[in-house]
Amino acid sequence: MRSPDYNRRVVVTGVGVVSPVGNDRDTAWRNLVEGRSGIREITKFDASGYDHNAAGEIEGFEAAAWVDPKAVRRSSSELHYGVAAAKQALQDSGFEVDDSNRTEVGVVFGSGAGGQTLMVENYSTLHERGPNRVAPTFIANALVDSTSGMIAIETGAIGHNIAIVSACSTGTHNVAEGAEAIRRGDIIAAITGSTEMPLLEVAHAGFENMRGLGSPRPGEPLQTVSRPFDATRNGFILGEGAGSLFLEDLELAKARGARIYAEVVGYGSAADGWDMIQPIEGGTGSARAMKMALERRGVPADEVDVINPHGTSTPVGDAREAQALWAVFGDRAARDRRSLAISGTKSMTGHMMGAAGAFEAFATVMTVAEQTVPGTLNYRDFDPACDLWVVDETIRMPVRYALSNNIGLGGHNGAVIFKRYDGD
């Protein structure tokens, strides 16, 4: 264990993703840039009796390609997605975990809800077939930290290992806390991220009864259902998947000649303490998290060029996030200034719940690395309550800093900032 050094620089050297827009870095990024939606009709269960039948489902994913087949049978999809994304990020980084360093490589990887599928299945088994038929392995595989444990098993990374849970901000907090663990000296590198599989009928029913789910524009395709900050937005849509970033000490990365995507330079976390569903009036909790992220290492607010917002496409949520952005960035946020680009990738994936922050951290890192801002699909109608420069088509532009912002049920707010790395 090293001594803490809060000026220690941490960089992203590997990325991995399993998502509605692709199950690897290149496919997912290409689809984001080309504006290809991953939203389609639900197939995970029969949604014909519901008013809403769209979701961001994953296609073409083979769990056994990433997880031991025996473990696949005992576990559920969110664990498979998380292990796959984590392994991709580790492989992409070129970092070799071995006996000389495995105790110094950590896993900071969460989930918003864990293995709900296993809980539902075993509850049904209990009542239909009796207590003796409940699987003895389901509890260990259904916990929120099951994925972080399996990542350690599958990769050999046995250092600092935790799973942070903060609803829709889970991914943001796990990525950023992984960077802080490196600065504290707990580890030299971290596999970070989050995963989620919320496409269960009971969850769908709950969100529909909450009146949170959205509908496409009348007479338009299903893919128009998610339209963040648009004046016609009327709710979010669920998505599934996982995202992972491999983080390491900059000096270590330079010494081994690693590709550096971006530097992790800001982190903020704050609570609303106000309501379990809606963000607080004025978005003040989110604003505090973003201000903290800027102040932690002195990031100039006027040099943040891109925001990947929470942007779920809900009437109240998007308006309050816009208020938070104005509170932090002032009139730089205004649409007509064209100074602070808003890239709402949930328009293509739906809301991946606990995995959202990690997937959007991936998108933000790629935005910085490629100096390219994915457009917000379906954005057409300006809403004065969301006076933001919402980029509706992919553009290339200089990106110095980009911020990923998330707002979780229960009032959990998180923000993480990535900086362009120029070899300094």
Give residue 1's pLDDT band: very low, low, confident or very high (50, 70, 90): confident
Residue of 292, 296, 377, 390 lying closest to 335 (CA atoms) = 390
How many whole angstroms separate alpha carbon 17 and alpha carbon 156? Answer: 20
- Helix H or strand E segment including 255: helix 250-255
Identify the band that residue 67 occupies on the pLDDT scale cut at 50, 70 and 90: very high
Q: Is the pLDDT of residue 265 over 90?
A: yes
DSSP string, 159-224: SSEE----GGGHHHHHHHHHHHHHHHTS-SEEEEEEEE----HHHHHHHHHTT-B--PPTTS-GGG
**127-155: pLDDT as tens digits:** 999 999 999 999 999 999 999 999 999 99
- Over residues 165-183, the pLDDT tens digits come to 999 999 999 999 999 999 9
Report yes or no on whether pTM surpasses 0.75: yes
102 — pLDDT class (breaks 50, 70, 90): very high
pLDDT band for 382, please (50, 70, 90 cuts). Answer: very high
Q: Average pLDDT in the 25-32 region? A: 98
Work out how many domains the chain is built from and give that number: 1
**Can you give the pLDDT at residue 418?**
98
- 80 included as an active-site residue: no
Residue 230 has pLDDT above 90, yes or no: yes
Q: Is 20 a member of any domain?
A: yes
Model confidence at 345, pLDDT cuts 50, 70, 90, reads very high
Whether 53 shows a pLDDT value over 90: the answer reads yes
Name residue 245's beta-bridge partners.
Answer: 15, 192
**What's the pLDDT band for 424 if we cut at 50, 70, 90?**
confident
Whether residue 424 lies inside any domain: the answer is no
Q: Tens of pLDDT along 272-295? A: 999 999 999 999 999 999 999 999
DSSP state at residue 330: G
Q: Identify the pLDDT of residue 130.
A: 96
Q: What is the pLDDT of residue 181?
A: 98
Q: Classify residue 313: in a domain, yes or no.
A: yes
Q: Which of 80, 160, 351, 412 is catalytic?
A: 351
Q: Identify whether 310 is a catalytic site residue.
A: yes
The structure tokens listed for 21 are 């827009």
- Residue 3 resides in a domain: no
Looking at the domain assignment, is residue 370 inside a domain?
A: yes
What is the rounded distance in angstroms from the CA atom of residue 269 to the CA atom of residue 286?
A: 8
Q: Please check whether residue 262 lies inside any domain of the structure.
A: yes
Which CATH number belongs to the domain containing residue 300 in this structure?
Answer: 3.40.47.10
Which residue range is the domain that position 323 belongs to?
A: 10-419
**Cα 381 from chain centroid?**
26
- Establish if 331 belongs to a structural domain: yes
Catalytic residue among 52, 80, 173, 310: 310
Task: Please say if the pLDDT value at position 242 is more than 90.
Answer: yes
Let me know if 168 is a catalytic residue: yes
Cα–Cα distances in Å, from 340 out to 137, 228, 391? 49, 16, 10
Q: 52, 80, 160, 168: which is the annotated catalytic residue?
A: 168
DSSP element (H, E) containing 321: helix 315-329
CB 374 within 8 A of CB 311: no
Query: What pLDDT does 272 receive?
Result: 96
Q: How far is CA 201 from the centre of its chain?
A: 22
User: What is the dihedral sign for C-alpha 392, 401, 105, 353?
Assistant: negative
